[in-house]
Amino acid sequence: MPSGRSPARSATLFTVFDTQQGYRALLSAMAEPGTVQPLPGGLPLVLATLVDHEVRVAEVGEPHWPDADFLMVRGGTSHGQLTDARQGTPLDPAAGATAIYELAAVGAGPLALSLTGPGVGAAPRLLRLTGLDSDEVELFQATRAHYPCGVDIILVDRNGRCAALPRSTTIRRVA
C-alpha cells in the first residue's frame, strides 16, 4: 500500500473463500443499491477484498486523499473532504474513487435515505443508517452532480452488514 500504513485494525487473516464471499456481498450491494448484505468480516474483509499493492488508500486528513482509489471514513464524517475525492472524467468515469464508510449500523437507525436509480426498481428504496453525519448526505449528493462522474460509496458496519450507493444512485434524505 503506497501510504505505508495498514488500514486494518487487526492482524485478521482471511482465506480466499472469505474474500470471495466478501466480493459477492459487495457486488450484490452495488448491483442493488441500498440493500443490506451480510459481510461477516466488516471493514477488514472489505479491505482484504478490494485493496492490493496497485491501489492507493487514504483516510480522512491524509495528504494523498485527492489521488486515492479507496477512501476510508471512520466516525461517519469526512469533514467535508469527500468532494475533494477523485471523481473521474467524462472519458473515464470509472477513475472515480470509492469511499468506504465504517458506521455503527447499516440497515437500522435514525437516518433514512430514499434511493432511486438503476438497480433500485420502480419504487424508491429506503436505507436506514446509524453513525453517518447528516451533513455527509449533502456531500454524497454533490459527488453525483456530474454523473457519470462521481464517487461510489460503500457502507459497512461492525455487525457484519454492508450496503452500497453507486454514483448512479440518486439519494434523498427523508429522516
175 residues of the chain, pLDDT tens digit each:
444 444 444 447 899 999 999 999 999 999 999 999 999 999 999 999 999 999 999 999 999 999 999 999 999 999 999 999 999 999 999 999 999 999 999 999 999 999 999 999 999 999 999 999 999 999 999 999 999 999 999 999 999 999 999 999 999 999 9
CATH of 16-173, one of 3.40.50.11310, 2.60.120.430, 3.10.450.50, 2.40.33.10: 3.40.50.11310
Parallel/antiparallel/unpaired status of strands 125-130 and 105-116: antiparallel
Phi/psi at 47 (5° precision): -65, -40
Output the CA torsion sign for 51, 52, 58, 59. positive
- The span from the first CA to the last CA of the chain, in angstroms, equals 38
Contact 169, 33 (CB under 8 A): yes
Using CA atoms, how far residue 165 sits from 52, 111, 127, in Å, is: 22, 15, 10
Residues 60 and 79: beta-carbon distance below 8 Å:
yes
